[in-house]
């Protein structure tokens, strides 16, 4: 288990997070329950902000809010001096409802709807990252009709194959994201954006994938991006003043992953910042304002999910299952990507693991598994199981599958706790069901 800043074992053998006893949290709020450690988020944000300033200078860390989006997290991100990236009208609305400063927001998406572009422009959002030829034109028209000029970046695909799951690789030649460097689309999109009234092209954006550990992949992306900045300068006589190099820094889920201290995460920022600084110097480019967009590494390890163990099923000589009161409706990542997690019995942390269990969700799907082959002490109905590193892409990917309510999320600090997101009730689930007149 990763018993560092976030998690400790209390004198009573219970798992503690942010100074709070997990079994007490489970009793107070019920399970399933997403729990976030405020200090972890503040510490890692502070390290990122400080390292970017020290190593590179002018720039901003944008919290990639798709990792976990709710009003509270935008308020916390703002306090931590972060900007944020949003990828839909819904995320934009959530951020603005939390009074997040619009000029610190960046909008992404491979298919932004006209109404999303209009909403962003009318909200005076900092940047829009365009990802299609027609989007540049549509955005220009929306801006012109409102007498506005919108700062934009273009999402490009520099063709860096990072070693991570196929579904979270985004810079392969066949990716749905970005204008490719390889087939000439990136240069065509730049020419189009420079001719389009209503948009002000400030630079390029890339995001090579997620859960990437090799710093070299990020450095390679920086080299390819700055080579392209040089090409644009030489061929078009135009110099960009901004660059956005995305997120994707890998975090600890199981012992197969690198285990970094909070300070250790600065390595990623340092690698990108130093490579960019030296590339800019070497290629004699204007030093661009640098955006980085980590999501998973800000909230992933800050969060855990608590469940209550239900039926334990032992298929003699084949497999043990422990079923939980949650499942793929609160965490679809194993079903989606085969993601791995560390699971612990939170009320008996000092008991010796003796058997392997698969942790099964309660949905009517064989694929509804949260984690396979977890080495645990003998598990009994009523035990509190904690799945670790669930702060990113869990709540934000939750659904009402099988009409299960999405669990609440709480924030903890120095043993105190409060809701970030309240529990859904059954009434919430039927709230938008209509009395359809055709029935
Ligand atoms: C454009 C963009 N930026 C940033 C991120 C955040 O990546 P991560 O959460 O791995 O840091 C993503 C994730 O998919 C993304 O698509």
Q: What is the pLDDT of residue 162?
A: 66
- Distance from the alpha carbon of residue 259 to the mean position of ligand 1, in angstroms: 20
Q: What is the mean pLDDT of the chain?
A: 95
438 inside domain: no
Return the C-alpha torsion angle 284, 285, 288, 294, nearest 10. -80
Residues of the chain with pLDDT below 70 are: 1-5, 162-173
Q: Is the CB of 249 under 6 A from ligand 1?
A: yes
- pLDDT tens-digit readout, 342-359: 999 999 999 999 999 999
Give distance in angstroms: CA of 207 to centre of ligand 1. 7
CATH number, residue 351: 2.40.37.10
Same domain, residue pair 158 and 112: yes
pLDDT for the residue 385: 98
Predicted confidence at residue 262, as pLDDT, reads 87
CATH number of residue 177's parent domain? 3.20.20.10
Regarding whether 206 and 123 lie in a shared domain, the answer is yes
Task: Evaluate: CB of 108 within 6 angstroms of ligand 1.
Answer: yes
User: 364 an active-site residue?
Assistant: yes
- Ligand 1 centre to CA of 69 (Å) is 13
pTM: 0.96
Q: Is 293 in the pocket of ligand 1 (CB under 6 A)?
A: yes
| Domain presence at residue 435 | no
Domain identity same for 280 and 307: no
Report the distance separating Cα 184 and Cα 189, nearest Å: 9
Q: Which of 98, 69, 64 is nearest to 82 (CA)?
A: 64
* Last residue within a domain, chosen from 299, 323, 350: 299
Taking alpha carbons only, the member of 68, 4, 17 closest to residue 384 is 17
Tell me the residue range of the domain where 171 lies.
38-299
Which of residues 247, 277, 299 is at a domain's end? 299
Residue whose CB lies within 8 A of the most ligand 1 atoms, among 106, 167, 247, for a mutation test: 247
* Domain end marker among 283, 299, 315: 299
First to last CA, the chain: 54
CA distance 17 to 12: 14
Residues 348 and 231 in one domain: no
- Total domain count, the chain: 2
SS (H, E, C) 1-39: CCCCCCEEECCCCCEEECCEEHHHHHHHHCCCEEEEEHH
Look at ligand 1, atom 16, and give the residue with the nearest C-alpha. Answer: 207
- How confident is the model at residue 170, as a pLDDT? 54
């Amino acid at each position: 288990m990763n018993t560092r800043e976030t998690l400790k074992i209390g004198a009573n053998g219970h798992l503690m997070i942010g100074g709070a006893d997990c079994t007490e949290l489970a009793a107070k709020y019920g399970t399933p329950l997403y729990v976030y450690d405020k200090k972890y988020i503040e510490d890692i944000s502070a390290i990122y902000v400080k390292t970017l300033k020290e190593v590179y200078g002018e720039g901003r860390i944008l919290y990639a809010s798709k990792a976990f989006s709710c009003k509270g997290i935008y308020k916390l991100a703002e306090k931590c001096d972060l900007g944020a990236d949003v990828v839909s009208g819904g995320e934009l609305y959530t951020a603005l409802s939390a009074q997040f400063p619009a000029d610190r927001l960046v909008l992404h998406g491979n298919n932004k709807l006209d109404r999303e572009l209009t909403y962003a422009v009318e909200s005076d959002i900092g940047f829009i990252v365009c990802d299609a030829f027609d989007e540049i034109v549509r955005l220009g028209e929306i801006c012109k009709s409102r007498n506005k000029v919108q700062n934009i970046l273009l999402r490009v695909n520099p063709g860096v194959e990072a070693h991570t799951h196929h579904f979270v690789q985004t810079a392969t030649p066949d990716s749905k994201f970005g204008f490719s460097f390889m087939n000439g689309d990136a240069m065509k999109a730049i020419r189009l954006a420079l001719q389009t009234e209503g948009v002000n092209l400030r630079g390029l954006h890339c995001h090579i994938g997620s859960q990437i550990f090799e710093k070299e992949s990020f450095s390679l992306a920086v080299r390819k991006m700055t080579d392209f900045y040089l090409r644009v300068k030489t061929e078009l006589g135009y110099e960009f003043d901004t660059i956005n190099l995305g997120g994707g820094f890998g975090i600890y889920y199981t012992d197969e992953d690198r285990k970094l201290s909070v300070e250790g995460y600065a390595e990623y920022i340092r690698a990108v910042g130093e490579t960019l600084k030296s590339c800019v110097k070497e290629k004699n480019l204007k030093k661009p304002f640098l955006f980085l967009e980590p999501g998973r590494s800000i909230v992933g390890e800050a969060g855990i999910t608590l469940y209550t163990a239900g039926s334990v099923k032992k298929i003699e000589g084949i497999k043990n299952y422990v079923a939980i009161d949650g499942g793929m409706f609160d965490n679809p990542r194993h079903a989606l990507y085969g993601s791995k997690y560390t699971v612990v019995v939170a009320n008996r942390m000092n008991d010796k693991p003796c058997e392997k269990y698969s942790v099964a969700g309660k949905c009517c799907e064989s694929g509804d598994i949260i984690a396979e082959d977890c080495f645990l002490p003998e598990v009994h109905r009523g035990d509190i199981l904690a799945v670790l590193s669930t702060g990113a892409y869990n709540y934000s990917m939750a659904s009402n599958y099988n009409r299960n309510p999405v669990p609440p999320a709480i924030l903890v600090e120095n043993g105190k706790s409060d809701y970030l997101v309240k529990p859904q009730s059954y009434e919430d689930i039927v709230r938008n069901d209509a009395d359809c007149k055709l029935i």
